[in-house]
Amino acid sequence: MTILDDTPSRLGWLEAAGTHREIGLALGRQGRRAVHERLMDTPLWQEVTAVRHVPLVRHLLAATIERFPWVAEELAGLAEGLGLPLETVAAWNCRGDLLASVPDGCTTLLLPGRVPRIAHNEDGLPCLDGACFLARLRPSSQPAFLTFCYPGSLPGHTFSLTAAGLVITINNLRLAGIVPELPRMVLSRALLAQPDIATALALLEAAPPGAGFHYTLAQAGHAEVLSVEVGGSGFSCRRLSAPALHANHCLDLDLPQVITDSSRDRQRRGETLIAAGERDPMAVLGDTGGPGLPIYRREPDDPDEENTLATVLFRLTPEGVAWRVTVPGEAGIREGVGPV
């Protein structure tokens, strides 16, 4: 991958290679300070790691070991790097499976065409603003990938580009009444190892019951852009031919869910902008207008406890994937051209 701009930024950078245990260890060391100083005192951390969740966490960890032992190795390395017990770190990485509503919002704009564009606001806990990082990771037995990482979390549940040319963005779905059999963040991590869009889609379609994610999938050299919702035992896939927006609630799956005011307002505002002919990704994802809560989220009293932490734009050209990441309040950018 060619890095076109490496401007100093509050958004950190990590490069790591090796076994999955070594990859996890590097991720844990990178995020250790932020987890101990910013995350562990939050009500969300205390709730997710509560004793009452231990039986389900153990069940989900066992399922991870059985189905994706290499992800379990990464998780063990992450725990070692963080200096925390494995079950505690596993619980944090099952947070969306343990609770129906967690503060992972996000908005994705999908623009299919001859040169597809995918843009995504990564919205997360305000306390992690300035503690997140981009990582270029090269597992010894799988495709390398570039991904946005939260301290303490497995890679893969944000936005990513893989050496196979896969572009993946993910939005939280707040589903109710789910009895999970595999953590959704384990499934999304496994997605990064897939060699092409067909196998990625097959992995999602065959997923065991779990909490919900919306996946945007595209691949360099392919014109199609897929909007995929997975949750419970449900699966939905739309092949887009027109611009669309997804603001972290189910649009296609008919499942019980929590739709927050922010999620509803962002969806409506985005659809209004698209209907009015707006095609500039930064104009849509940077929008603060409309009658409700904004798409671009920087208010300290955001009702979902989420702020926009980074924005990515992917352009899938015949030569590869061009990407650009911006951070709120910074003039500098990080950008590059794939493959990774």
pLDDT: which is higher, 290 or 340: 290
Decide if pLDDT at 2 tops 80: no
The string of pLDDT tens digits covering residues 6-50 is 566 789 999 999 999 999 999 999 999 999 999 999 999 999 999
- Residues 222-230 have a mean pLDDT of 95
With bands split at pLDDT 50, 70 and 90, how would you rate the model's confidence at 3? low
Decide if pLDDT at 340 tops 90: no
At 37, give phi and psi (nearest 5°): -95, -25
The string of pLDDT tens digits covering residues 91-139 is 999 999 999 878 778 999 999 999 999 999 999 999 999 999 999 999 9
263: three-class secondary structure by DSSP: helix
Distance, in Å, from the CA atom of 132 to the CA atom of 130, rounded to the nearest integer, reads 6
Residue whose tokens read 């004793």: 51
Radius of gyration in angstroms for the set of CA atoms belonging to the chain, rounded to a whole number = 18
Other beta carbons within 10 angstroms of residue 254's beta carbon come to 8
CA–CA–CA angle 273, 278, 283 (5° rounding): 85
Whether residue 226 contacts residue 251, with contact meaning beta carbons closer than 8 Å, is answered with: no
The string of pLDDT tens digits covering residues 142-189 is 999 999 999 999 999 999 999 999 999 999 999 999 999 999 999 999
Distance, in Å, from the CA atom of 146 to the CA atom of 336, rounded to the nearest integer, reads 10
Long-range contacts at 281-289 (CB < 8 A, ≥ 24 apart): 281/109, 281/111, 281/117, 281/119, 281/313, 282/119, 282/311, 282/313, 282/326, 284/109, 284/119, 284/245, 285/107, 285/109, 285/119, 285/120, 285/121, 285/311, 286/311
DSSP alpha helix (H) spans, the chain: 20-34, 43-48, 54-67, 69-82, 86-92, 95-98, 184-191, 197-205, 261-275, 281-285
pLDDT for position 319: 83
